[in-house]
A and B are shown apart, each in its own frame.
Chain A
Amino acid sequence: MTTTPRAVRRKARPAAPPDPARPLLPSSEQIRLLDPAGTPLPAHPDYPAPPVEVLVELYRRMVLGRRFDLQATALTKQGRLAVYPSARGQEACQVGAILALRDDDWVFPTYRESMALTARGIDPVEVLTLLRGDWHCGYDPAVRRTAPQCTPLATQCVHAAGLAYGEAYQGRDTVALAFLGDGATSEGDFHEGVNFAAVFKAPVVYFVQNNQYAISVPLSRQTAAPSLAYKGVGYGVRSEQVDGNDPVAVLAVLTRAVAHARAGHGPFLVEAHTYRMEPHTNADDAGRYRDADEVARWQDRDPVVRLETYLRDRGALDDTTVARVAAQAEEYAADLRERMHDKPNVDPLTLFDHVYAEPTPQLVEQRAQVRAELAADQEGAG
């Protein structure tokens, strides 16, 4: 055994300064305001529950969103859509994010956010244009303040930072919300985007829906971090994790995150723990990488049922309202079905319209060639 020299032993260790990372760190447990059965938990000091009328609207849009999602899957099976990546099970996240924003805020969705876009009030036919295949983006992103759905997974993280910075630079208090998935947090652009937003204090909310799988690859292969929300601290970004199937908590946390960004405190990163109930798309076979028991366990945490139970218990929802919302959802789906029935008109000559503001001489030549081919086809057919 060694003895410590007396002089060293006497010297008192100075008190550690406060840890500057601590205010950025997420809670060690997911924020939860309802238990899985829909029973309210004690109020959280940082995340007050949203007003009940907002929660009723959240419920309404979640029911519509789920019905839309089921309809889109059915349309795919009927061959109306090339492919559809379902968000069933993620309704609390998809709709909660939209309700946390103002209409003039910007949304940066990925391909899995079709439900979120319908919750934003975008015509579902325009939302499904990408997947039907008549153009890439069916809605007007400038009017809807919603970027085209992003398929490269994380590139939108940087766009959101730039847009938010540009809006602030021009004196507007716009917030940008970027959706991304668990797999996308492994992409470089996620890190560059969060870092740029932090350095330039851009008002961005990065909203990670951790639905446990990137197609087939489980979360354990994306990260060794205790939660994806910890990825914020390295960039100096305030972060939080939330039960993504607790609609009240999702909206409460995102409302706080949006307020943080709008107040000029810089970006905010939220990880929502949720689950993709369907395969990656209709073309995927989830049975190859996850078992039915796991899916069943998540079925028991259904966000729509959870919110409905809570609102009924509070007396904010009754059979009449539930039936009315269900009827609205059926009407919404029927209208979508009807309008998706017609094959869209596509004009090959529009291929040349949006490459440059003015087509290059080479494109003018190619357009003339295609026009001649079409005329010849028509003559042949006639």
Chain B
Amino acid sequence: MASMTMAKALNTALADAMLDDDRVVVFGEDVGQLGGVFRITDGLAARFGDKRCFDTPLAEAGIVGFAVGLAMSGLRPVVEMQFDAFGYPAFEQIASHVAKLRNRTRSALTAPIVIRIPYAGGIGGVEHHCDSSEAYYAHTPGLKVVTPATVADAYSLLRSAIDDPDPVIFLEPKKLYFASDETQLPARTEPFGRAVVRRPGTDATLVAYGPAVPVALAAAEAAQEEGWNVEVVDVRTIVPFDDGTIAASVRKTGRCVVVHEAQGFAGVGAEIAARVQERCFHSLHAPVLRVAGLDIPYPAPMLEHTHLPSVDRVLDTVARLQWDDQPDERWVTV
């Protein structure tokens, strides 16, 4: 076992995929000689040539639309949107073409494209560099939406994404790029569509993904001191979503809090809360609660810590799970 960062695991996954399959091509803004602003494509152009890893004009719709054409010609494009919010110009290409090509053509044409997006905050980034944009993509049928929280998953999920016959929005938590773990590559973890219990517990379930997973784990440790034995489930693949693992956990614990960085209103957490209540109603001792970002545009760096889910905010929310059989005081006056 060697200590490895998520950034290095992603870089290795790209290199291994290119080695295994000549059809894999990597392109985007600054991904060539520079190796990407986060160095995720470091060394690929030198190793595989500038036909297989190359810079494009600075135009995100162009990058994604170009990938659609390349996929139609039989290649397997892996493209990078430099930052979450820089992906918005590509949204029409993603929603109207990448997501729908298989459907429109009854599977005669497909779009096995991976769109890598460094996303979310916690790194002191200025505006337009810290959005959590997963809900836009998860709301679009035809896309798979994946976000790793561990180094091994970063490698394995990216390899699975590149091998997948369908388009994958691959959301990389910037905050975790340089977090390291003891990992031996090539690591292969659970496939798409499987959530994973990261910490077993009996009293409540925290459901999290991407950058919120370490927060949930830290909160679970802290909760232990309060006498609550909290389970943490890492969603991993938002689409396809693993109802089974999450429902099994909540049926066991009877309590559930969903944690994510994105603003809460109409977010993925709302979907998860609804699904848990549909499946676990008779097991629940309290309403499913959410700890999400505030419903505000992503704040300036000096204010982001107030916006982001914190261990304290998660603990406060766990405390409101009606342990004493009293309704949540916040709702009494409503």
Contact = CB atoms under 8 A, between A and B. Distances in A.
Interface of A: 106, 135-137, 140-143, 147-148, 152, 155, 157-167, 169-170, 176, 188-189, 192-193, 195-196, 199, 353-357, 360-362
Nearest to B109: A141
A165 B70 contact: yes
A366 to B, nearest CB: 11
B61 A188 contact: yes
B287 interface: no
A298 B131 CA distance: 52
Which 7 A-B pairs give the minimum distances between C-beta atoms? A162-B69, A158-B65, A166-B73, A192-B62, A163-B69, A162-B66, A360-B240
A75 B270 CA distance: 46
B96 A155 contact: yes
Contacts of A357: 102, 107, 110, 165-166
Nearest to B167: A356
Contact of A162 (B59, B68, B110): B68
B103 A192 contact: no
Interface in B64-85: 64-75
Nearest to B241: A362
Contacts of A176: 69
B62 A193 contact: yes
B72 A166 contact: yes
Interface string B234-258: 0000011111100000000000000
A141 B100 CA distance: 14
Nearest to B69: A162
B183 interface: no
A159 B65 contact: yes
A360 B61 contact: no
26 contacts: A135-B106, A141-B108, A141-B109, A147-B72, A148-B109, A152-B96, A155-B92, A158-B61, A159-B66, A159-B72, A162-B72, A166-B69, A166-B72, A166-B74, A166-B75, A170-B73, A189-B93, A353-B107, A354-B102, A354-B105, A354-B106, A355-B141, A356-B102, A356-B144, A357-B165, A361-B244
Contacts of B93: 155, 158, 189
Interface of B: 25, 51, 56-57, 59, 61-62, 64-75, 89, 92-93, 96-97, 102-110, 141-142, 144, 165-166, 193, 239-244
Contacts of A356: 102, 142, 144, 165-166, 240
A355 B239 CA distance: 12
B106 to A, nearest CB: 5
A148 B105 contact: yes
Nearest to B22: A170
Contacts of A106: 72
Nearest to B107: A354
Contacts of B70: 162-163, 165-166, 169
Contacts of A155: 61, 65, 92-93, 96-97
Contact of A195 (B59, B102, B141): B59
Contacts of B71: 162, 166
A157 B61 CA distance: 11
A135 B100 CA distance: 13
Nearest to B72: A163
B53 to A, nearest CB: 13
Given A165-B69, A361-B193, A362-B240, A195 B166 contact: no
A141 B61 CA distance: 23
A360 B242 CA distance: 9
A14 to B, nearest CB: 34
Contacts of B62: 158, 161, 189, 192-193, 195-196
A3 B105 CA distance: 74
Contacts of A152: 92, 96
B101 to A, nearest CB: 8
A158 B66 contact: yes
